[in-house]
């Protein structure tokens, strides 16, 4: 854990940091980044201002997770359902995504972070796919934290795509036994452990079609903090709450 330099002695962050057991950190943290629109609305700003402010939270949480030693961070950036939003907002989101990738490419690579995009990436605009290809190829040999960005993602769509992949490999009339491992290996997150901790900002009590298979035994932490206001302190609060829970996986 190398977060100490981020916390001033005696600060709330420093106190939280002291309470965290580095041995029991969640390996994989997933985040539903919610509340950008409400954050902007409360300030009488256009919704896109909330999305832009939200990128600052992404920077802070990625850096904090890396310094803490979290192995995998998965961020829910754009869902399949988000295409229903006004066209101007969608275009702006895609532009912000490309700006973020270009800005973060050097930082991610220098910090040994491996970047991945999960979802129906093939349906995104070619300009977005090109930026994703570039950063993915540049960081594919990095051995530090894995950063997953869920784009054009839906949990049900992922399961549909997993079934299609299984059928394409084994054929409709195949006799291959279908197990949990077969399905897990066919998901977008194949090869990664399931999330230990799922964080949702903005206080909404739902999972919004996110990682439906993978979060079967994840600990869920909901905070009323809107995503643009979510910072290192709030992440440490979530991890502290996680470490006070007893994970029994259906046992006693």
Mean per-residue pLDDT, 175-198: 93
| pLDDT surpassing 80 at residue 40 | yes
Residue 246 has a pLDDT of 85
Residue 215 lies in a domain: yes
Q: What is the pLDDT of residue 8?
A: 76
Least confident of 163-167, 171-175, 209-213: 171-175
Rounded-to-integer distance, Cα 21 and Cα 31, Å: 21
Q: How far apart are CA 244 and CA 252, in angstroms?
A: 17
List pLDDT tens digits, range 208-246: 999 999 999 999 999 999 999 999 999 999 999 999 998
Residue 114 CA, chain-centre distance (Å), reads: 13
DSSP 128: H
Please check whether residue 250 lies inside any domain of the structure: no
pLDDT tens by residue, 105-138:
999 999 999 999 999 999 999 999 999 999 999 9
Q: Is residue 18 part of a domain?
A: no
**Domain assignment of residue 5, yes or no:** no
Does any domain span residue 12?
no
> Which tokens hold the place of 92?
């702006």
Confidence of residue 10 (pLDDT cuts 50, 70, 90): confident
Kindly state whether residue 97 falls inside one of the protein's structural domains: yes
- Tell me, what CATH number does 67's domain have? 3.40.1180.10
Catalytic residue (choose from 34, 148, 152, 196): 34
Residue 1, domain member (yes or no)? no
Domain that holds residue 35: 27-243
Tens-digit pLDDT profile for residues 42-97: 999 999 999 999 999 999 999 999 999 999 999 999 999 999 999 989 999 999 99
- What predicted TM-score, i.e. pTM, was given to this entire model? 0.94
pLDDT category of residue 174 using cuts at 50, 70 and 90: low
> CB-based contacts of 145: which residues, under 8 Å, 6+ apart?
65, 66, 70, 71, 72, 73, 112, 113, 114
Helices (H), 81-143: 87-110, 126-139
Look at the chain and report how many structural domains it folds into. 1
The pLDDT of residue 252 is above 70: no
Q: Please list, in sequence order, all residues whose beta carbon lies within 8 angstroms of the beta carbon of residue 113, skipping any fewer than 6 positions away.
A: 62, 66, 139, 142, 144, 145, 146, 147
Q: Given the residues 60, 82, 185, 209, select the one marked as catalytic.
A: 82
Per the annotation, the verdict on 82 as an active-site residue is yes
């Amino acid at each position: 854990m190398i977060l100490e330099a981020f916390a001033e002695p005696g600060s709330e962050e420093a106190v939280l940091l002291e309470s965290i057991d580095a041995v029991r950190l969640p390996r994989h943290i997933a985040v539903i980044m919610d509340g950008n629109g409400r954050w902007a609305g409360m300030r009488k700003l256009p919704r896109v201002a909330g999305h832009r402010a939200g990128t600052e939270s992404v920077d802070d949480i990625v850096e904090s997770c890396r310094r803490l030693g979290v192995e995998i961070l998965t961020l829910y950036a754009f869902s399949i359902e988000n295409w229903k939003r006004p066209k101007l907002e969608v275009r702006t989101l895609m532009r912000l995504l490309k700006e973020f990738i270009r800005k973060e490419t050097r930082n991610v690579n220098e910090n040994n972070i491996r970047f991945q995009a999960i979802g129906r990436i093939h349906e995104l605009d070619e300009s977005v796919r090109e930026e994703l290809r570039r950063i993915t190829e540049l960081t594919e040999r990095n051995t530090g934290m894995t950063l997953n960005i869920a784009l054009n993602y839906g949990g049900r769509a992922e399961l549909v795509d997993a079934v299609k992949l299984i059928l394409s490999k084994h054929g409709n009339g195949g006799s291959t036994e279908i197990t949990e491992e077969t399905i897990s290996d066919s998901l977008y997150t194949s090869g990664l452990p399931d999330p230990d901790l799922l964080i949702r900002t903005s206080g909404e009590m739902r999972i919004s079609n996110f990682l439906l298979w993978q979060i079967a035994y994840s600990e869920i932490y909901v905070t009323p903090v809107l995503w643009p206001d979510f910072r290192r302190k709030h992440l440490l609060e979530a991890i502290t709450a996680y470490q006070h829970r007893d994970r029994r996986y259906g046992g006693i």
